[in-house]
Amino acid sequence: MVNILYFVKKSLKMEFIDFLGEMLGITKDFAVTKIEKNEVEKTINIYIEYIQKTYSKGGKEYSIYDRTPVRRWQHLNWFEYKCYLIGSLPRYVDKDGKPKVIDINFAPPQKGYTHLFAREIIYALKKVRVQSTVADLFNTTDYIVRSIMESAVEYGLEERGLVTDFKNVSLDEKAYTKGHHYATILMDSDKNIVLDMVEGRKEKDVKQLFITVSGNKKQPQITRVNMDMWRPFMNTIKEIAPTAIIVHDKFHLFKKLSEAIDKTRRKEVKDNPQLKNQKYTVLKNAENRTEAQQEAFNQLVKDNLKTSHAWLIRENFKGIFSDKINATLNYKAWRENALSYSITAVNKVIKTFDRHLEGILNAIITGTSSANHENKNGLIQSVIAKARGFRNFERFRINALFYFGKLNLIPQNI
């Protein structure tokens, strides 16, 4: 190993050391004592030392009690070399007689990396969104990248504090790993941000989610909530925000009818081989079909199959959202027409719609939807896919808030 300081002219050494300290972000309480380059490991180790005889905090001077064992902090790479700061931190005895490690400005407490290193990791994560790729780019570990992400979100949430000014929100559920492991996501529809999420989707989970975000059990300020027809969501809102309008999002309603189309196709395909391999032909909107798919669908219509009728019922349902004034009349007319086809899967959906009619009519009358939430859900799903699922809920939550919470992730003084 080579000490690079040996090659700096004596007349320039102090100037170089001061410049280096400034670039590293360390205060004048520390001095660079040695710089070692290791060609085998491709590392540069910068040794630092606390040079003051006392430590100032809160207007008081403390004598140095002893020093911690030598430790190191990963810093930004020097060219192709992995760079570390290495040193021992002083301890002082506080007013209660307890020894404490001094506060340092160049690294977070009890972490093995510098603030500047963490800042660049955060910038990279914003661009790449794959932790392992960022770890490779910075010659570090997945663990350190994850630690930086967690600390950034923790800081962002602490700075944001409790939120009580949300009025229009969306509630949705998301599976974050294989199996039935769900999280409930709360979004501010006006600001298009993820406020927070909670593990589970029971009433007690949703109530805790609102308490975590706002600190309050009741939410009288909420005016509208977009959600699917999940009963625990509805019950919770009726209890904590009784004056809020519940809106059953049209995308969830369309999805129910799409599921009915596919169930009908799977039932009919046994006696109608022309339906084989036509799942997406019958689920797509007409404008999205290829020429071949449209020809195949036209044949289904000619054959008078119930699958084509189920598709028409869904399209007619979409049409009632364009008329706010006659919402109730149009729904009743659509319902009567849909029932006339006697399609079992569709009839089951209609029964569900009848039980949630108020929320459906609110969706038509208000003209609102959780489109932003669905878009965010898609983006969140892409993060899940890149991570190949999350082993636990907390990692999923950290990732969602990091990317979609619009939090201030980097302290001002870094």
Predicted local distance difference test score (pLDDT) of residue 14:
64
Taking a C-beta distance cutoff of 8 angstroms, is the pair 202, 182 a contact? no
Look at residue 73 and tell me whether its pLDDT is greater than 70.
Answer: yes
Asked if CATH classification 3.30.420.10 holds for the domain at 168-249+370-404, the reply, yes or no, is yes
Predicted local distance difference test score (pLDDT) of residue 259:
97
CB-based burial of residue 52 (10 Å sphere; 0-12 exposed, 13-18 middle, 19+ buried)? middle
Taking a C-beta distance cutoff of 8 angstroms, is the pair 196, 212 a contact? yes
* Domain range summary for the chain, segments of one domain joined by +: 2-156, 168-249+370-404, 250-366
Look at residue 7 and tell me whether its pLDDT is greater than 70.
Answer: no
Closest-CA residue to 397 (of 212, 270, 168, 252):
212
Look at residue 368 and tell me whether its pLDDT is greater than 90.
Answer: no
Tokens of 58: 């809160």
Tokens of 163: 């939120």
Tokens of 381: 């799903």
Closest-CA residue to 282 (of 302, 252, 251, 259):
259
Predicted local distance difference test score (pLDDT) of residue 153:
98
Q: What is the pTM of this model?
A: 0.86
DSSP state of 407: -
Predicted local distance difference test score (pLDDT) of residue 280:
95
